[in-house]
Structure 1
């Protein structure tokens, strides 16, 4: 967990508390010092009575907030004694609190806490100062509470910035781990640390990083992805942009999110049902991106499976295996002359009549068998690009057979 400790003191920073604060007499200051314990006790009691969320905190969190309240009152008295001295509110008031407190206590809760303490101190003014000094004491409480409120906002802003920077680094590490295929168990713990919830329907999109993406680019991508996916991680690796989408519920996500990539091909992987399978899908998408220039007319985005032929020619062994397992073997198992008919149709110039003459069957039989090829493989031999994929699958399947 990243640290959100307040910054250390520095004489180069201006005094956050106004130096023109009202002054109190020595007698009043002595009375304040003598009643610090009572003020702290009353403040804690008031917090417990007026703040419902305070009662629901864990004991260690209640203790930490109690220290903040006590330190705040003590620091107020010290400041009132020497208003021109550089009292560093952030350190003096929040220095005793653990950095993790900003995760469980919201800024609104912290401001409610300050208001409760101020109310307590103001209610005790008649018992702490003579009539002539009560207005001075109340004014000083208001000035000091204003500065504490500003200091509180500063603490939370710094904590948010620190968490955001850490989350961005962890997000980049998770994306890189998926691309490289790290151990699923360690990957699962890291990905859950950044709020990832999806356990299925995981897709990877890869393309070029746009020029000058801007400070809000990553948030813009996440907002766009939220319409189509349950989770989204963004990884920028130099000139490469990688999106990891979880719980994808609409294929339109690919087209919409492709507009956030730079010029050039954009590839999306197959849908993975586990994090372990996501690595295989991501590596397939990466191989497809490397071979995408072999098909200049490819749609944008294009599926990694649509680039099987180019991946095969680019030396991707996984593409060869996929063509054999997804196309050749199902056709071989179906029998009924489908492979022979498909081979004749392709080798004879995609002519139904020539294939029917070569096989001594009717043209309608050729047409029927080619329709069966489409039903089995989802690739249509009558479409030139699909026929090219089928041709590559036939070649890969033949090469995978043992030599006679």
Structure 2
């Protein structure tokens, strides 16, 4: 127990010693008052942000400083009989209202004051004061750790709520407020990464990865939200013009389970874009088995949502079907559905991707077929000569031809 050692009782027949003993507390009180006054007078120098506080806020700070010094003196005067642990110099409620950085600055001011007070005492009193200050610093560290954990818990709840609303497409003004509280700008670009969290056997994989993901993404210059959907870890990243989605995704791949599908949604803008990117990434994960290696079951990592448009459309993803129709079919056949490019492409795909058979069916030279197919690449970005990309083109043509014959279905 921290306490001041007992002084020997002065003899009744020694009035001078008794008078000296009676004067020690008074002198100590005067010294403590000077130290307290000095600390309060220079408070704004030590804490510049205190200048902007209202009067009651300033009184709260001064009260915390006085209370810390009073607690020290009470324990010293109790001669070791004071019960209870040494408290944090800045109480929990005040720490929460000030925020972690300001609370730590105020703690430092108080500890400096206590150490200065100890230097005015005799050796044993100074030693006891230093021990008290060390205990107070330990209590403060424990309090700040608890508050940080609580803030982290509240942040995790907020992130999960945002992700849930984005998945369910129920985002509203509360979602905007939640994003602002987490430091996201009003206007932002974003993309989603979806997959099974590493080490998720106990169901804690996502929570264990949450803070490391935040740290990693922040190191790359972006910001992240982490949430869950049907057991899948969903990470929404705002790159903040600091890198490509592929770069950010590569930096967090290690937080996803080995061998599992990790799906990368497209870069989109704003809350509606966040909903679209998360939806695309989840849809890609659902369609991933269709592109697994037939022998090893291996999957590319990550799987880009735009690379699985046909599989997603076949699995009922209307957004993927719309994208194939708008970005591929209409760019190819929007002005003239029966024109030379869509006609040549469709004939080529139905002729086993043979230039000669296509040329014979159309009554043109094979070089003309080659030229038209190259034009298709320029227009759509997909190459019919590549087996995988020809499948994308074929899916787009099928969707387009069906929609063209049923225009009211849109």
TM more than 0.5: yes
Matches of 1:168 and 1:327 in 2, distance apart? 40
* Structure with more contact order per residue of length (Cα contacts < 8 Å, sep ≥ 6): 1
Aligned to 2:282: 286
Matches of 1:81 and 1:228 in 2, distance apart? 55
Task: Output the TM-score relative to the length of structure 1.
Answer: 0.82
Q: Which moved more, 1:149-158 or 1:301-310?
A: 149-158
1:296-307 aligned within 5 A: 296-297=292-293, 299-307=300-308
Whether contact under 8 Å (2:87, 2:139) holds in the other structure is yes
Matches of 1:227 and 1:81 in 2, distance apart? 51
Task: Output the TM-score relative to the length of structure 2.
Answer: 0.81
Match of 2:398 among 392, 395, 398: 395
Match of 1:160 among 148, 161, 174: 148
Aligned to 1:233: 225
Aligned to 2:5: 22
- 1:101 equivalent to 2:98? Answer yes
Q: CA deviation at 1:22?
A: 2.7
Match of 1:138 among 113, 126, 129: 126
Q: CA deviation at 1:272?
A: 0.4
Kindly provide the CA deviation profile for residues 170-190 of structure 1, in whole angstroms up to 9, marking residues without a partner as x. 222222222222334322221
Specify whether residues 121 and 41 from structure 1 end up closer, same or farther in structure 2 by C-alpha distance, changes over 3 A only: farther
Whether contact under 8 Å (2:180, 2:186) holds in the other structure is no
Q: CA deviation at 1:118?
A: 3.5
Whether contact under 8 Å (1:288, 1:311) holds in the other structure is yes
> SS state of the match for residue 96, structure 2?
coil
Aligned to 1:64: 60
Cα RMSD after superposing both structures: 3.0
Specify whether residues 246 and 32 from structure 1 end up closer, same or farther in structure 2 by C-alpha distance, changes over 3 A only: same
Kindly provide the CA deviation profile for residues 259-285 of structure 1, in whole angstroms up to 9, marking residues without a partner as x. 431132221111102222110121122
Residue ranges of structure 2 left out of the alignment (5+ in a row): 10-20, 294-298
Match of 2:86 among 77, 89, 103: 89
Aligned to 1:277: 273
Match of 2:249 among 254, 269, 274: 254
Aligned to 2:13: none
Aligned to 1:129: none
> SS state of the match for residue 189, structure 2?
coil
Matches of 2:402 and 2:356 in 1, distance apart? 28
Q: CA deviation at 1:216?
A: 5.5
Specify whether residues 304 and 211 from structure 1 end up closer, same or farther in structure 2 by C-alpha distance, changes over 3 A only: same
Specify whether residues 214 and 23 from structure 1 end up closer, same or farther in structure 2 by C-alpha distance, changes over 3 A only: farther
Whether contact under 8 Å (1:43, 1:120) holds in the other structure is no
Runs of 4+ with deviation above 6 angstroms: 33-38
Kindly provide the CA deviation profile for residues 164-209 of structure 1, in whole angstroms up to 9, marking residues without a partner as x. 2222222222222222223343222212212234833311011112
Kindly provide the CA deviation profile for residues 46-89 of structure 1, in whole angstroms up to 9, marking residues without a partner as x. 4345x253654523543322111111122122212322231443
Matches of 1:173 and 1:96 in 2, distance apart? 26
Kindly provide the CA deviation profile for residues 300-358 of structure 1, in whole angstroms up to 9, marking residues without a partner as x. 21111221111122122222222111111111135441111111001111111111111
1:182-261 aligned within 5 A: 182-197=170-185, 199-212=187-200, 213=205, 217-226=209-218, 228-237=220-229, 239-247=231-239, 249-250=243-244, 251-261=246-256
Specify whether residues 293 and 368 from structure 1 end up closer, same or farther in structure 2 by C-alpha distance, changes over 3 A only: same
Q: CA deviation at 1:163?
A: 1.4
Whether contact under 8 Å (1:331, 1:376) holds in the other structure is yes
Whether contact under 8 Å (1:272, 1:281) holds in the other structure is yes
1:25-64 aligned within 5 A: 27=22, 28-29=24-25, 40-48=36-44, 51=46, 53=48, 55-59=50-54, 60-64=56-60
Matches of 2:238 and 2:43 in 1, distance apart? 42
Matches of 1:310 and 1:364 in 2, distance apart? 32
